[in-house]
């Protein structure tokens, strides 16, 4: 019973923005992983060095399983650790991507400390969420959407297309090559 679309990607790429609109308009139940973790008491503390919550993964997986077992409902599950969703429920995983230069600016505007901005921007450059999704769900179940330059309407439209199976195959987005071509890679090498 595959009844879940996973929307994952580095913090700040626009997952919640896209997922809320598509869930509302297209009749999905929305599970925001951060909220579920909080509600379920699956936050196991705070990593002081990274300024990020530590997730009790076993507990969160149990909660997800409980929720996704609901008969007859279709779900969008969104969060930057989307690979935590038990694969037997997952119909497709969509990895939102964003040009590291825009991501850096967005995260800085959010007030993230520089070390946290860098960590997340590097994760985006290294395809970290994509690799996790492919490992968890298999290459055939994963599509990328490049959100760079897309306004809200176009972002939503592109994610809808990917839900329908029309998107970029894993590995299509390559920030290293793009930054190199545009002479911007040095900004990210330290």
Q: Which is nearer to Mg ion, 25 or 169 (CB)?
A: 25
Residue 74 to residue 5: CA distance in whole angstroms: 8
Q: Which does 145 bind (CB under 5 to 8 A by kind): ligand ATP, Mg ion, none?
A: none
By the rule CB under 6 A, 105 interacts with ligand ATP: no
Q: Which is nearer to ligand ATP, 92 or 106 (CB)?
A: 106
**What string marks each residue from 30 to 69 as x (binds ligand ATP by CB under 6 A) or -?**
----------------------------------------
Residue 104 to residue 87: CA distance in whole angstroms: 31
CA dihedral sign, ordered 114, 117, 123, 127: negative
Q: Which is nearer to ligand ATP, 16 or 128 (CB)?
A: 16
Left (φ > 0), alpha (ψ -120 to 50) or beta: where does 86 sit? beta
Q: Which is nearer to Mg ion, 78 or 144 (CB)?
A: 78
Residue 15 to residue 29: CA distance in whole angstroms: 15
Using CB under 6 A, which of the segments 42-50, 133-141, 148-156, 179-187 binds ligand ATP?
Answer: 148-156
> How many whole angstroms from its chain centre is CA 161?
16
Using CB under 6 A, which of the segments 11-19, 38-46, 123-131, 164-172 binds ligand ATP?
Answer: 11-19
> Is residue 46 within 8 Å of 92, Cβ to Cβ?
no
* Short-list 26, 31, 119, 141, CA closest to 75: 31
Contacts to ligand ATP by CB under 6 A: 9, 11-17, 80, 106, 147, 150-152, 155
């Amino acid at each position: 019973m595959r009844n879940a679309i996973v929307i994952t990607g580095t913090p700040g790429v626009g997952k919640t923005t896209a997922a809320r609109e598509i869930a509302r308009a297209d009749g999905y139940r929305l599970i925001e992983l951060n909220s579920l973790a909080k509600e379920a008491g699956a936050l196991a503390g705070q990593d002081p060095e990274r300024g990020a919550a530590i997730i009790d993964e076993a507990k969160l997986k149990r909660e997800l399983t409980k929720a996704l077992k609901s008969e007859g409902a279709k779900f969008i599950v969104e969060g930057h650790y989307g690979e935590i969703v038990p694969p037997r429920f997952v119909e497709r995983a969509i990895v939102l991507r964003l040009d590291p230069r825009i991501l850096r600016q967005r995260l800085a505007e959010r007030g993230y400390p520089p070390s946290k901005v860098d960590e997340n921007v590097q994760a985006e450059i290294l395809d970290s969420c994509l690799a996790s999704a492919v490992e968890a769900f298999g290459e055939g179940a994963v599509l990328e959407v490049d959100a760079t330059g897309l306004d809200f309407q176009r972002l939503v439209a592109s994610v809808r297309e990917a839900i329908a199976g029309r998107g970029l195959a894993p590995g299509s987005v390559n920030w290293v090559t793009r930054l190199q071509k545009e002479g911007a890679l040095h900004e990210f090498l330290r």
